[in-house]
Structure formats: structure tokens, C-alpha cells
Amino acid sequence: MNKNQYNHEKGGVVTLLVTLTMLTLFLFFIFFFVFGKVIPPNMIGIRRNLVSIPGFITGGYQEDGLNPGLQWKIPYVSNIILIPRDFQFVQMDDREVEGDLSLSKLEIPTTDGSKVKTDISLIVRFFDKPGTTLRIGTTENQTLATGGDNDVPLVKEVSRTHGGPKDLVNTYTADYNKQLVAFATNAENYLKQWLSGLSTTDYYNPALREKAAFKATEEINKGLNKDGIELWATLIRRYVYSEQNIDDQIFAKNLQDATERLNAAKSELAEARAQTEEVRAIWDGQKISVLKVEGESTVQVLDEEAKKYEQEQIAKGDKLVEISSAAIEKDKNEILATQGGKIYAARKMVPFISSLQGGIITGIDPYNMTQWIDKFSSTNKTGEK
């Protein structure tokens, strides 16, 4: 086999391998496109079996939603539709918001015959399977007392049974927008029922307004959770009265109430300041008295300590004098004991010698006591004193 023939056969093998690889990939993508469907992370898949095969598949929508990822399907046998997994917003405010369902704002009739145009946002989400979950609810017949009609309901976790994707599609069809519109229409009835129980002025009371919105949310979930959909929250964002004069009157009344509360608060503040100054004066007086007494006591203690110190020093001085005198007497006694005769004679001769004048005795300095003592106390040559 020559070199050209070898290269030709080698090129043919490479071409065959590349062709088989491309064919395999093409068949894989065809298989994936025909028999598979990718569910994004933010979506819930709902499988619908178009036919029933005993022991294999059951026709209709399946109870549980499909998780994100690659899921199988068979053309003309099974199909998959998608619904959002994350929160969806329904805006009731005559305002177009991209990505949200926008509906007309609610016009709520009040108990005294007025109408309030209310902007509301509904936060909605779908359940991915039927079951029982814990959600925020209210305790039965229990409220947090804030005064009269302003009592706010106590909240806690309550157990709620809800439907799944199958219930959602069977109730609101498989179209996503129709699902939200149908749900919002049902929610409007509950919202009007609870908010219309407020009077014209009650809308300005946040405790009463939020209480009504919370109770409406709870009733909506009790009635519609079985359809596989949940109202996560109801947000009342803005409200105005259809009659401008009512709005102005309520604003003036609220301003008057606020002014009265401000004046009352100022009065209480002035009274509190007066009481504070009175207490401060009392404490200042008591403090001065206490400091004066403490000062006098301190002076007395210092005086006593000074006297005590003086007595101690005098006693120490007297003791030192006594010790010194005793030492002197001791030294004198020792001298008298050793040189008693000379000293005694010297003491006796002092008056006599001091009276001498001139040189009666020769060879002796009359003022040299040592020579006198030696003179009178020594033995002469002959042995006589």
C-alpha cells in the first residue's frame, strides 16, 4: 500500500466519523425537540395527557406541577404548559405597568353614602402541587386592643388546604392572563364587601383600613386557595373620594384633630417640664444641705486628727527628752563612779578659784582647772596629800 492510498483511506475514515457524529447530534436534537421540553427555573410545568393508556398514563392535567429542568413529552400523546412560579402583581389603579396585569381602580361605597376611589395592588402566586401549608391567618374572635373600633386582629400561622395546577387550569383555563383576570374579579367582590363596611372617615384611620384589607385577604384565600392560587398580600396604596368637598372636609377635620393633639401634647410637655424643674429644685436644695453637713463633719474630723497628731508629736518629744536626760544622768553617774574624787574636788574648788586674784600659788594657772585638780588630788614627792 503506497502513501497516497493510505492517506486516501484515512481521509475517508475521518469523513465517515464526522458524518456519524453530526448525524448523531442531529438525531439527538430532533429527539430532544420532539420528545423533550425545558422548564425554566421561574416556571411551573403542567403536564396534560391527551390520551389515556391503561397502566401507563391517565388523560387530562396532572395533579402535581413539574420542576424546572428537562421533562419528557410525546407528540399527540402528552404536552406541557407553563405558569409562573414567582410572584405576580395585579394593579387596580388605571395605570399601565409593564409585566403586571393592570385593571381599573376600585370604587368603594362607604357606609354613609360616599364613594372612595382606591388604588390596590394584589400580590399573587400559584401553587405547584395540592396539599396543606401554614399561612398567616387570624385567631378566632381575638383582637389586639387599641381602643374601641380600632382593635387589630391578632395573627398567627394557620393550616390551609389548597389545590394544585390541575385545579387552577380547570377553574381559570390554561391561559395565564385569563387566570389572573378571573382571580382578580373574584377578589374584587371580597374587597368591596369588607372595605365598604368603613365610613367616610374610617379610610383615614390606618388601623381600621388595614384591618378590613387583612380580613378581605384572609377571606379571599379561604375561598380561592382550593383553585391552586394564593393572594399573598393586599396593598392599599392610595385612596381619594369622588366628591372633592368631602376630601377637603375630612382633611380639615383631620388637621383640626391633629392640631388639638399637638396642643394637648404641648400642654403635657409644659406640665412635665414644670414638674421636672420642681423636682430639680428640691434635689438641688437637698444636695446643698447634705454637702454642708458633710463639709462640717469633714472639718471636725480633720481638726480632731490634727489635735491627735499634735499630742502624739508632743508625747514623742517628751519621751525623747526623758531618754536624753536619762542618758546624761547615766553618763554623769559613770564619770562620778570612775573619777569621783577629782570631779568632786573640782566642783568644790570652782568658787574658791574664781575668787582668787593675782598669783598666790606659783606654777599654776589659776584658771586651769586641770592643774588645780591635779595639784590638790595628786600625791607629792614625800607621799603626802
**Residue with grid cell 491627735, as numbered in its chain:** 308
Looking at the predicted structure, is the pLDDT value of residue 231 above 60?
yes
Strands 88-92 and 115-126, how do they pair? antiparallel
Does residue 149 or residue 36 have the better pLDDT? 36
HSE, side-chain direction, 13 A CA sphere, residue 219: 16
All 3 cell numbers of residue 55?
Answer: 397502566
Does residue 205 or residue 126 have the better pLDDT? 126
- Helix, strand or coil, per DSSP, at residue 142: strand
Confidence of residue 225 (pLDDT cuts 50, 70, 90): very high
- Helix, strand or coil, per DSSP, at residue 9: helix
pLDDT mean across residues, the chain: 77
All 3 cell numbers of residue 251?
Answer: 382633611
Looking at the predicted structure, is the pLDDT value of residue 380 above 50?
no
What pLDDT is attached to residue 17? Answer: 77
- Helix, strand or coil, per DSSP, at residue 238: strand
Mean per-residue pLDDT for 342-371?
A: 57
Confidence of residue 350 (pLDDT cuts 50, 70, 90): low
What pLDDT is attached to residue 279? Answer: 78
- Biggest alpha carbon distance in the chain? 175
Mean per-residue pLDDT for 49-72?
A: 85
What pLDDT is attached to residue 127? Answer: 93
Confidence of residue 226 (pLDDT cuts 50, 70, 90): very high
What pLDDT is attached to residue 327? Answer: 76
Q: What is the rounded distance in angstroms from the CA atom of residue 189 to the CA atom of residue 187?
A: 5
Of 42-51, 291-300, 375-384, least confident by mean pLDDT is 375-384
What pLDDT is attached to residue 338? Answer: 59
Does residue 306 or residue 248 have the better pLDDT? 306
Q: Which domains does the chain have, with CATH numbers?
A: 3-83 (no CATH), 87-242 (3.30.479.30), 343-377 (no CATH)
* Residue 66 DSSP symbol: B
* Residue 110 DSSP symbol: P
Strands 131-144 and 152-162, how do they pair? antiparallel
Looking at the predicted structure, is the pLDDT value of residue 21 above 50?
yes
Does residue 253 or residue 69 have the better pLDDT? 69
Q: Please, what is the Cα angle at 78 between 73 and 79, to 5 degrees?
A: 75
With the C-alpha atoms ordered 135, 138, 139, 140, is the resulting torsion angle positive or negative? negative
**Which DSSP string do the residues of 300-333 spell out, in sequence order?**
HHHHHHHHHHHHHHHHHHHHHHHHHHHHHHHHHH
pLDDT tens by residue, 288-339: 777 777 777 777 877 788 888 878 878 787 777 777 777 777 766 666 665 5
Q: What is the rounded distance in angstroms from the CA atom of residue 85 to the CA atom of residue 87?
A: 7
Confidence of residue 51 (pLDDT cuts 50, 70, 90): confident
Confidence of residue 359 (pLDDT cuts 50, 70, 90): very low
What pLDDT is attached to residue 378? Answer: 55
pLDDT tens by residue, 302-312: 778 888 887 88
Looking at the predicted structure, is the pLDDT value of residue 195 above 80?
yes
pTM of the model: 0.55
